[in-house]
Chains A and B, each alone.
Chain A
Amino acid sequence: MTLHDRSLSRRAILKGGAGLVLGITIARGGKAFAQTPPAPASVNIAPNTFLVIKPDNTVTVLCKHIEFGQGPFTGMATLVAEELDADWAQMRAEHAPSNPVLYKNLAFGVQGTGGSSAIANSYEQMRKVGAAARAMLVSAAAAEWNVPAAEITVEKGIIRHPSGKEGRFGAFAEKAMQQPVPADPKLKDPSAFKLIGREGAVKRLDSAIKSNGSAEFTLDLKDPDTLTALVARSPRFGGTVASFDASAALAVPGVVDVKRVPTGVAVYAKGFWPAKTGRDRLKIEWDNSKAESRGTAQLLTEFRTLSKTPGKTVKQEGDVDAAIARGGRLIEAEYVFPYLAHAPMEPLNAFMKWEGATASARFGSQFPTPDHAAIAKVLGIDIDKVHLQTILAGGSFGRRAQQTVHVALELAEVVKAAGPGKPVKLVWTREDDMRGGYYRPFSIHRMRGVVRDGKIEAWSDTIVGQSIMKGSPFEAMTFKDGLDSTAYEGADDIPYEVANFKCDLHQVDVGVPVLWWRSVGHTHTGYAVEAFVDELLQAAGQDPVEGRLALMGKWPRHAGVLKAVAELADWKGAKPESGRARGVAVVESFNTYVAQIAEVSMGEEGPIVHKVWCAVDCGVAVNPDIIRAQMEGGIGFGLGHILYAQQTLDEGRPVAGNFDAYRSLRINEMPQIEVAIVRSTEKPTGVGEPGVPPIGPAVANAMAKLGLKRPAQLPIVPGAST
């Protein structure tokens, strides 16, 4: 069966042709857009919008969150299967199509993935979907067998009555769909869970296809006659095309067209290589009159100057200046954080077929609702006439969700410029991705603290940084008093009791597009806070663990993970042994609490991280092994960037274009990792991002114990990146 056949048969299944019983016909054909949206408070739990139960008894969960590694396919299926009393072997998962009514993220109000919200916002909803489907299957069986529903049990996918009657889901699914959806299906008491939180009960649903090459990503889509499009974009942000000559590009065999598009010049070809070759041969004059022309060295000078003046106050308690005036030891630190690219393994791309009156797009859309609207708007057709299907994506780390929806816009513009009837795959090269902006913002923290009589008396943190949310649809949600809260999150609410506290921000404008990057503000605030508190505790002569705990009285969950990690690592103080020292850090992000201890020695090039112990409290641990995997991956992702990565600008031009200049962590640099999951009955929270922030400061703090300075300018290994 070819991939094309497979997509056809899938479409047939979704239309109800191939024995669909509980199905998602409602979600198809854009009909849901015409429906009256449910009241904002109501949560969609209708099984026929989330589940496909086939005659072969497989249960496919339509996942409203994109699967790009963090495990929502498995997570959503776990929640459904638990309440459905399904056998794990019968569970499958696919992406739900774009539909803001049926598949909205309850945390956002529209369909989208981010903020480590998948499990957090779906925990009750998807369990209710499972419970509702179970009740409907039981009702159908009761009617068929003519027995009271209350006498029926369901276990591991088998519906049974004490009379000896039994059947599987597939046999009853069609009649189940005729049953009313229970308004508020009863959920299990957690003590009865068989899958949620049970070690080994669940395996990832996508491991096999991702180990044998059959997983289909956007780059792999191959509808007949698809053209590959590459766009030549300005080397500087804000530059535009003044003029171009396409004759040499059009002479490349396989190149079929060249068009000007708002983001640059698009080359269309039969395949990637002719498209790339054609693009290389374009002659383009750029108009840089409105482009950002500052380099990172200049930005650093400007930011540094600003950081020495007070910014707009975010939070103030007590009086920092008065505390400094009272004397004691004044400790100051400056931390500089570079621009960082997300560099997901699969560079950005998107596919669409436009037939004039209708369009069908497929790509790793992380925010389907705004992407969907953007495509419809550019094509000038009603959103009901555009079908958008999210598919697997090769990583994101934030990159596939843009407040500007620039990928969806560019896709639509490129497709529109090609003309109707031509399927187009828009492909970004690695260099396009690396130099394409949307970086973690460049920022500085200037810290001041006072230690007197072994106690931290004052703490001040002046941040200079660029707003991610300014001018975006998320501004209203994230701005407080004119300031972007994601620029200081974590810096204003430190988990330490300090009587005199101040956090202020200079929110600056730079003509470089920036974006949330795995753990957003915590990527820098986590480092600044945890490196600085460690430095202050050192000055106060206190142990990094005990000293933190003594200040954490009001933050029991922070203290909980810190105690857990100290126990896991058998913490005996920070004294180095045999050239190795241990550093600690604890950071809460997205309501998940993570503490890490890194064991570090110094090599010729820089720090070598031998082992990392990690404790995480994410409330109820739905999939323990996925939580461990996210901690492992988050540590590796965080470590690679803190050690090696930066994007620099030379007169506005991003310099690093590939992994030779933007160094990624490799296997020989990966520490051993041990993870403890703190038992909790709190509501579950996400794990995709929170593993990232603590590793940087943990390494920095270990370096300090080796007699070095905590790195003030990241990355730690200078020269690793250009």
Chain B
Amino acid sequence: MFKFPEGLYTDVRIEDVYETKIIYTMGEIEESKERTYKAAFIRIFDGEKWYYNSISNIEDIQAEIDLLSQYANPNEHIEENPVVKKFQVNKENLLKFKDGDIKKISIKEKQNLLKEYFPALQEYEFIKHWNAYYVDRKIYKEFYSSKGSSIKFDNQTTGLTIKMKFAKGDKHLAEAFQKSSNNINDIKGKIEEFKSFVSKCYDFLINSKPVEPGNYTVILSPIAAGVFAHESFGHKSEADFMIGDETMKREWAIGKTVGKELLSIVDDGNINGNGYVPYDDEGTRAEKTYLVKNGLLSGRLHSATTAYYLDEDLTGNARAINFEYEPIVRMTTTYIEPGNMTKEELFSEVENGIFIDDIKHGSGMSTFTIAPSLAYYIKNGKIADPVSISVVTGNVMETLNEIDGLSNETEIMSFILGGCGKMEQFPLPVGFGGPFVRVKSLNVQ
């Protein structure tokens, strides 16, 4: 398809993208657009340095390859370069979303999906402001390399978000109702669930009181647990932070105990949703990677470069947010595997604790932080009064050892707005999830 220059490794990623974005504010339409574009990212490697170019005119790909190759120093042994040797050669057409193609659904139907919520939204006087978003994205990717890879695959996501600002007297709350899936039919008919969510928010608005700061036993909901897994451990498992770093290699030796035996954390690009990445942006097939298995460090996430330097297997985690960026090591769908307690059993053992039901955001390095939006006291094993909290924090490694209970079902989720950020690349669509997770002690402020 392309004429690749001699003595250099070259790959080309072409992205054919269709996106819809609809926004209503207080019932008035503010945005309703369909975007399509086709663009490409080219990489050339001479064994010493990488040279990249992102282009928006795909008819120029060959010319750009030829131009970019002039910056590189051809190397007749490039195929023997250990990083180049790591690259897989795959040939596959993996088109999974021909049925239920969101491109074929009219924008009217997508608008109507949001309009179903308007009567309910207008009914509540304590919802002072709201925005309703519908977003979908279908991407068709092609990947070609000078080693012979030729891959085509697709993915699509669709979802809605209702962002609401609640106020009554001096009390305020910002919350969002979110649904997403690969199939638009999955996000239809959620009005009753929405109304129940609004009732919960109203109760929080009226009855929440500032938390008494201190250390508590905390139970994380699946969404909070998923963000915790992503922020606290997922980022630490991205191997690009470890290249050439002997301290980190020693500290993060495979087999080391990092948590209680009940804890297993997985990253898997094969799972449907925002983190579905059957081939990464270096053409590597997705793997199910145990980061932690039964409390032991079991694996980490790799690009070809990091897999070579750490002498480990490829995992399919080299990803770019779009055609303007190079692939770097990123997560796909990261989740905590379920345990063996029922949700009720998990709560029943907590005399005085905090339940984090929903969150605004999370982040994590050696210390992780979760900013809850909906949280409750747990008193005598039961969810009690709503409580307003700025942040919940803990040392990542200590917290992994403080996890003493997991419920028996894992829920996997995706959000259609936002995503994961790493350095300059934000937002990257990812999936995350977990069961209800109990942590013996966390600092709550």
**Chain B binds chain A:** no
B residues with a Cβ closer than 8 A to A are none
| A residues whose Cβ falls under 8 Å from a Cβ of B | none
